[in-house]
Amino acid sequence: MTTTDGVRLYVRRLGDGPGAVIVPNGIYLIPDFEWIASGRTVLFYDVRNRGLSDTITDESRIGQGIRHDVDDLDAVRRDAGFDRIALVGHSYVGLTVILYAMKYPAHVDRVIQIGPIPPSQGKQYPADLTGADATLGEVLTQLAQLEKERPLHDPTEFCRKVWSVLRVLYVADPADAHKITWARCDVPNERAFMKYWTQTILPSIQRISLTADDLARVTAPVLTIHGTRDRSAPYGGGRDWASMLPNARLATIEGAAHAPWIEDPAKVFGSIEAFLKGEWPESAEAV
């Protein structure tokens, strides 16, 4: 589909049921999450400048970073003909879906965050609320060494080497690292993502300062699912979302990392299914 400023976004539509669910930046989640489309209509799509969506070099079309993604999400909704939607956002897109619910509350039925980044990027959490460990240090050291070797590899090969190291961060047990299949190193946008992240997306996130009045505009119920050993997005951030939003609960996944459905698929998928049916999962707590 094409956005109002002419950017083409790659969208995959699964199912044809009456409930509408949108998963921004969710193409890589399809192998694990396509079951959501049973009895529902689900759109997974690549956000602008990611995946198979258009590559953008015009700064005016990417300069707002995550704010562009919020408005693109509404363009996807309108193009699909949906009035009200449920949203699923993993990692930094867990912030995107909240920003959308703030700006377009009339179109949101419910929101699911999985391993979201914290509401405030500057906040430091105590050790028991983060997944920081020796593995994190080891991975960062290996990535720094790989960066020195970049000129020796073609871009696709280098991307695969980076992901062979990086994927260990996203699971609690290194034996599960092979289950992280997010690399998409054959796609130029994904090979170039780190530059786009550091120069555009992350700065746009850091400029956001959410107030109580901002969060009060999120009228839909929000389920935050977070692993206690998440090295990429601290578990304390998940607790903050659940405590700060007016109608939110937290499903804690003990011992899980940034992809908690890998460590505990029954609890994660069961919680999502219950919530999409209009119920709070039994494991979800008010913080």
Query: Mean pLDDT for each consecutive 10-residue tract of the chain (287 residues)?
Result: 96 96 98 97 98 96 97 98 98 98 98 98 93 93 93 94 96 96 96 95 97 97 98 97 98 98 97 98 95
Structure tokens at 88: 């699923």
Residue 207 main-chain phi, psi, to 5 deg: -80, -10
Residue 206: the pLDDT is: 97
Residue 220: the pLDDT is: 98
| Angle between helix 93-103 and 66-80 (nearest 10) | 70
Residue 124 main-chain phi, psi, to 5 deg: -100, 135
Residue 220 main-chain phi, psi, to 5 deg: -75, 150
165 Cβ contact list (under 8 Å, min separation 6)? 139, 142, 143, 146
Structure tokens at 17: 């049921």
Residue 30: the pLDDT is: 98
Residue 79: the pLDDT is: 97
Residue 88: the pLDDT is: 98
The dihedral of CA 241, 244, 247, 253: what is its sign? Answer: positive
Residue 71: the pLDDT is: 97
What domains does the chain contain, in order, with CATH numbers? Answer: 11-131+197-276 (3.40.50.1820)
**What is the total residue count of the chain?**
287
Q: Most distant CA pair in the chain: distance in Å?
A: 53
- Distance from C-alpha of 105 to C-alpha of 283, rounded to nearest angstrom: 26
Predicted TM-score of the model (pTM): 0.96
